[in-house]
Structure 1
Amino acid sequence: MEPEPLVDTVTLGRAASSTSVGFDEFYLSEMGRLVALARSLAGVAVAEDIAQEAMLVAYRRWREVGALQRPDLWVRRTCANMAVSQFRRRVAELRATTRLTRRRPDATPEPMSERAEEFWDAVRTLPHRQAQAAALRFVYDMPIAEIAETLGCSAGTVKQHLSRARQALSVALDLQDRSD
């Protein structure tokens, strides 16, 4: 029994020369090899996307690329460059994520009391803007002007949202109006 090769190879016909093929034939003859190239440089998960993207670039520039003596070499170089860029981007993202997770403080919040859970459940039932205004007010203890700036509305609008939120929460939580 013959051992499996370490490298996946794809052989699909001859190299395309620009004088003998249109884009459709070029695509069909080259796509399998491009996927294999991208797979070897960037991995299986993104190989087909990279190969398709390289072909898309070739299609958009087909007048120029198709006039080349060896358009297959051009699209292979493009695919290789895209695969390497994708690999580098993934490595950079992984490094950044690792760096940020080391710096991140413990994000596990302290458990809330049953009454606090009830309050925030009621806040989540409010209309969108009222809930946002209430959360900014109670979580960050923001003044009206900062809430208005954060939400991109006027201070009067924030006051109205907070007033309506307070009334709705009072009813939802069965509280008496304490503003008297």
Structure 2
Amino acid sequence: MKRESIRSAGTGSDPFDEFVSARYQSLLGGAFLITGDVHDARDLLHDALARVYPRRGVIRDPGAAEGYVRMTMVRTHVSRWRRTRREVLTPFLPDTPAPAVDARDERLEVALRTLPPRQRAAVVLRYYVDLPVARVAEELGCSQATAKTHLARAMRALRQELAPAREMVGHGG
């Protein structure tokens, strides 16, 4: 029996288009966590989709397409970061608001934006995409020890950033 790829599922419609329609918001949310900017997130996602689309025929499991796109986003972002080696943070909210989140998620999102790009990418890969440390290191192009260092520093910074609210909650306001 011939295995079908995401290119030709035999339905007549393009399975890749269906995949993009179904998972676009989730992928955009991941791109936003990586970049910290809604415009950069859209650019990153569109670049990743443009890179994955011609190779969609090699994706044997349609369920794996999201992983391919997420890894392509991370690799593309790291490549851009290596080229520019700078990040511009802004205190202003994006033009288009993110989907409704509770206050903890919003504070985490803000705290993530304060991290350097490689630390932010490490956190997103490890805790949002749920990759093991070895894969995080592979995706960042560094050793496992360096990936662990990025994660440890990022988590320390996030804890410090988020600690004041925890203390206030613990003391009744």
Give the TM-score of the pair, scaled to structure 1: 0.39
Larger Rg: 1
Give the TM-score of the pair, scaled to structure 2: 0.41
Task: Return the structure number with greater relative CO, CA threshold 8 A, min gap 6.
Answer: 2
